[in-house]
Structure 1
Amino acid sequence: MKKLKFIALGAASLALLSACDKNGDNPAAPTAESAKAAGEDTIAKGLPGGSKFAEAAKSVGLDATLGGPGPYTVLVPTDAAFDKLPAGALDTLMKPESRADLTGVLSYHILPGTMLAEDIGKAIDAGGGKTEIATMGGGTLTATKEGDKIVLTDAAGTKAIVTTADSKRSNGVVHEIDSVLMPSK
């Protein structure tokens, strides 16, 4: 599998280098296939530009991780979810001296591997109505269902509903959620 990825990446790079105008000095726009092969369809590239989650991830260097091979499942709080935090909480987390705390909060929203909504739903059903999910930050979330919606609960009891599921990327999947989840301290 690694050989195939390397070959695809090499072919995409060769295609990009050879796709020049008649003077040979202006590269042509990459195709969708070559962009995917070159890693432009990663979770990091798919985060909404200017979103609070994307800005926070970039400020602590997690954008590089989320641009890597993965696979990852990322629970991305919407900007409205960040707006529900207590006044000034995000500003405090974005300060350089709070980098470790912000990294902890963001990594609490990253799950190892690819977990589609269907996978989470099946785990909830198999667990008798709930399942525990380990995060990259070392914490756990409890997943349950309310009707057909997947609900994730943090250690403090904050609930986040998956509002948009299964945005697939080359290195994993993104689920949008309606609340920011916080790890226990």
Structure 2
Amino acid sequence: MARVLDEMDRKILKVSKELFMSKGIRETEMKDIAKKAEIGRSTLYRHFAGKELIAFYIAKDILTELKNYSEDKLSQHKNLKSGYEKLASGMILFAGKLLESRDEIRFLDEFDQFFTDSYPESEEASEYTQFNKNKDMGIYQMFLEGIADGSVKKVENPEFEADVLVNAIFGIAQRIIPRREHYIEEHGYCDEMLEEAVRLMLLAIKA
């Protein structure tokens, strides 16, 4: 059962997110969080045992915001008929939102690097793992709709294919967006790489 956050939990998460966005997970210490939240460290530790556990909630919140943005925007497009049209629009909206979310992408990149080994045995880690197992995401549902109406190629495992699409988009975003200026200097382009990758993925799945 997911933990019910109280007012102090939410305050701690709010200031932690601000610190993680500006300083990063590694450079942020629990004393920094306590100071910004204007609470004692003992109070902070009663709510969260460590900054890495707070990071699970921040990551989940960011992923939820990104997912909801695309789905909310897509719901405004009443003219889309086939599953493929919805999927294509959803992926383009998702990629566009990632391009606008540099700080969030930088955080998610650091989060992934921070937890290259096993997750800690904690309620926070368990909730995050369960969150990522939830396959009601819009892209998966649109993928299924496209297969059903014949606009998307039939595949053996739609759930797996939808995961590949989402993670491919995220992977490219995490690679290029935090280093946008370097990519432009080195290659002459940056955002266009993600947009082109989405176009190629859409071509590959179109029936």
Structure 1 or 2: larger strand share?
1
Determine if the TM-score, normalized by the shorter chain, exceeds 0.5: no
What is the TM-score with the length of structure 2 in the denominator? 0.30
What is the TM-score with the length of structure 1 in the denominator? 0.33
